[in-house]
Structure 1
Amino acid sequence: MSASSLLGDIADVGRDRSRGGYSRHGFDSAELSLREWFVAEAADRGLDVTCDRNGNLWAWWGPPGPDAIITGSHLDSVPGGGAFDGPLGVVSALAAVDAMRAKGIKPSKPFAIVVFAEEEGGRFGVACLGSRLMSGAIDPATALNLRDPDGISFAEAVSAAGLDPARMGRDDEALANIGCFIELHVEQGRGLIDLDAPVGVASSILAHGRWRFSFTGEGNHAGATPIGDRRDPMLPASQLVLAARAAASSVDGARATIGRIQPIPGGTNVIASTVDVWLDARAATDEVTRNVVAEIKAAGLSAAEAEGCELTVTEESYGDTVIFDPVLRDRLAAQLGGVPALPTGAGHDAGILAAHVPTAMLFVRNPTGISHAPAEHAEPDDCEAGVAALATVLEHHLST
């Protein structure tokens, strides 16, 4: 089957009628439906599916073993995300298996398609939980205590899905099985558009992280409290939005985004007692990223003091600059006829695994340049070019 056809099969799962696009979050009903769909698709191809102790799905073509060639991606989304981020890599892996089988190819090495759990962090706030847990990049107790907006803990969610929270954590056996990981993904930006190329390879990922700024003031009545008597945390929170833009604008290539603000208690006629603001910051290096965050934090502290509020800053996740394995990157580019290599500002499971195993990424052109939004897109012909590229590099790796 084609990648576009497989995407069509899941097009109605997790549609977000209020935001547009899709809201499919780790271990919610939509994502669980997609996991069931993947298991069924893998079984139809004779692949044996297992679920590791961190909730990642593995569909093996032949017996599992060490130094396996692994491809795949994720099925969850950001709130109101596009149809391609994550699922394109999964459906392309299935379609690549179909393409290799049609040519009579049988892997001479262990091979699997992986679906990583909770990659976007759209439900529990930390991205790439499945790969972070597997690789030991996050403490299991920290992960299990994360809570979604409804107060459900990650431990409760995975338990409801049939997993044992007590077994979650670094999985050396799973890591040892990965000889290399090749992730296909829709491009999140305009690089391939400007290069007029349908497919490319990744060279690096910007250093990036997420921080929660909690401004605490005094909750009170919106009508009965004079302006001069207020300690309103919404004021320094709003100034932080402007500070983030200013700090990032002053550094070439830096990005800083406030995408989520949560006032407590959140009433229209209530002065908030606390306002939580989440910052996503990215730049070319660890030092530059942290300097940008430090500048934003200083602005937040100054604004909080001016309003008589307090500020607490918590680093919720962080990943240093990732340089993908240059030998593997160049080998893939050569196998595909010299496709371009380009950096990305987006994080991926491949970036988490890069510290432990050789990893590479293929990008498929996105004509809108938009991602994490309903307008994210990839043309059917480009999707098929991505499948062909993935099948080509997998064929090379599985036959040598």
Structure 2
Amino acid sequence: MTTASELLVSIDDIGVDRARGGFSRHVFDHAEQELREWFTEQARSRGLQVTTDGNANLWAWWGEPGTDAVVTGSHLDSVPGGGAFDGPLGVVSALAALDLLRAEGFTPRRPLAVAVFAEEEGGRFGVPCLGSRLLAGTIDPDRARNLRDPDGVSFAEAMRSAGMAPERAGRDDVALDRIGHFVELHVEQGRGLIDLHRPVGVASSILSHGRWRFRFSGQGNHAGATPITDRRDPMLPASRLVLAAREAAFGTESARATAGRLVPTPGGTNVIASTVDVWLDVRSPADAATRGLVDDLAGQADGYASEEGCRVEVTEESYADTVHFDAGLREELASLLDDAPMLPTGAGHDAGILAAHKPTAMLFVRNPTGVSHAPEEHAESEDCDTGVVALARTLEHLAS
């Protein structure tokens, strides 16, 4: 049998980002397409039947697809310059868990499937968990088709270039109805298991979270010829927003506010920008607190813009309420897995989207660095093996 770590090694040359470090694998780009082909080959070599739904999600079935299936899996795309484990660990662990079950002679009484969801990170088109959102009908398909990447390519155009039919995108009741339970294994994105000295845990909840774009508009001009007093420079209110977000997060219990992307236009060193886009990622345990924090920041941003003779427009690009995973299922799995600890997470996942529709759970594998969305993200081979066993026992339990 091939281990999860060995499967990860087999893809560690795909999507290497030599400028940022780590990996950049975005939906329908060359690296992500190569990973799709790799997964399809791995699944078919195990006798699994592979299909692609209308939302670009991959499904690999042990036997014939059917209703009330036990589904596991994760995603293969990454953030820009991300780590090797976020997403792929859940996919390779699913394959390794099926290998283990077959080696033990297990015959499932319910259909089993491995799913690979598209554009989970939103690294290309800006909306996280896009494949699972489309599947579940929580994003308008016309909006999704019209999303554009930084090069101006629409999601519909990218789908068509990849040989898919964008008109098929949208809620998929056939695929959704096939899911009886969904269990996603993921590297932990934090220090919970480190501090508890445990290799595997069970997710309890996901913080409410969203992404908002603040577009500051002013007057583009010459950096040398324009006196300071004559400027309408949108970079100033944008910079003040970044600092205000940090202060606002400190003032809201367990909140996070991050300005991870700032794009000035036209972006020349000797040019006063005409517009500056700032993307804020805001999260907290309470839905009202998350939205309240954003509302406060929008008001401050409007004031900052006015002081500089600029204006600001705020656009919500994605939002997900607080997710509480199925209480009975998570308790059941924690007991099954030697009283595995239950942990909340601030990271969003496809499992969080599906939790509103199906009994859903997550397993976490210890990350000894505590770092994620960066090249330092890691999981030890021994912990990966423990995670595969935990996932196999979970699938065996649910599919019996």
| TM-score category, normalised to shorter length | over 0.9
The aligned counterpart of 2:392 is 391
Question: What RMSD, in angstroms, separates the aligned Cα atoms of the two structures?
Answer: 0.5
Q: Show CA shifts across 1:309-329 (max 9, x none).
A: 000000000000000000110
Quote how far apart the aligned CAs of 1:302 are. 1.0
The aligned counterpart of 1:145 is 146
The aligned counterpart of 1:82 is 83
Alignment of 1:123-272 (within 5 A): 123-272=124-273
The aligned counterpart of 1:324 is 325
Q: Show CA shifts across 1:130-152 (max 9, x none).
A: 00000001000111111111111
* Structure 2 runs not aligned, ≥5 long: none
Quote how far apart the aligned CAs of 1:162 are. 1.0
Determine the C-alpha separation between the residues in 2 that align with 1:247 and 1:296. Answer: 8
Moved over 3 A (4+): none
The aligned counterpart of 1:21 is 22
Determine the C-alpha separation between the residues in 1 that align with 2:106 and 2:12. Answer: 30
Secondary structure at 2:257's aligned position in 1? strand
The aligned counterpart of 1:50 is 51
Quote how far apart the aligned CAs of 1:398 are. 1.2
Determine the C-alpha separation between the residues in 1 that align with 2:50 and 2:220. Answer: 52
The aligned counterpart of 1:377 is 378
Determine the C-alpha separation between the residues in 2 that align with 1:286 and 1:398. Answer: 34
Amino acid at match of 1:59: A
The aligned counterpart of 2:42 is 41
Amino acid at match of 2:112: F
* Structure 1 runs not aligned, ≥5 long: none
Determine the C-alpha separation between the residues in 1 that align with 2:168 and 2:157. Answer: 14
Secondary structure at 2:373's aligned position in 1? coil
The aligned counterpart of 1:278 is 279
Q: Show CA shifts across 1:56-89 (max 9, x none).
A: 0000001111110000000000000000000000
The aligned counterpart of 2:72 is 71
Quote how far apart the aligned CAs of 1:294 are. 1.3
Determine the C-alpha separation between the residues in 1 that align with 2:250 and 2:257. Answer: 9
The aligned counterpart of 1:95 is 96
Amino acid at match of 1:120: E
Alignment of 1:296-375 (within 5 A): 296-375=297-376
Determine the C-alpha separation between the residues in 2 that align with 1:265 and 1:153. Answer: 21
Amino acid at match of 1:284: P
Determine the C-alpha separation between the residues in 2 that align with 1:380 and 1:295. Answer: 45
Amino acid at match of 1:279: L
Determine the C-alpha separation between the residues in 2 that align with 1:306 and 1:273. Answer: 16
Determine the C-alpha separation between the residues in 1 that align with 2:313 and 2:387. Answer: 45
Secondary structure at 1:119's aligned position in 2? coil
Secondary structure at 2:259's aligned position in 1? strand
Determine the C-alpha separation between the residues in 1 that align with 2:291 and 2:98. Answer: 42
Quote how far apart the aligned CAs of 1:337 are. 1.1
Secondary structure at 1:357's aligned position in 2? coil
Q: How many matched pairs? A: 399
Determine the C-alpha separation between the residues in 2 that align with 1:158 and 1:326. Answer: 37
Determine the C-alpha separation between the residues in 2 that align with 1:369 and 1:169. Answer: 36
Determine the C-alpha separation between the residues in 2 that align with 1:132 and 1:123. Answer: 15
Secondary structure at 1:276's aligned position in 2? strand
Determine the C-alpha separation between the residues in 2 that align with 1:92 and 1:361. Answer: 13
Determine the C-alpha separation between the residues in 1 that align with 2:343 and 2:398. Answer: 22
Determine the C-alpha separation between the residues in 1 that align with 2:26 and 2:106. Answer: 35
Quote how far apart the aligned CAs of 1:368 are. 0.5
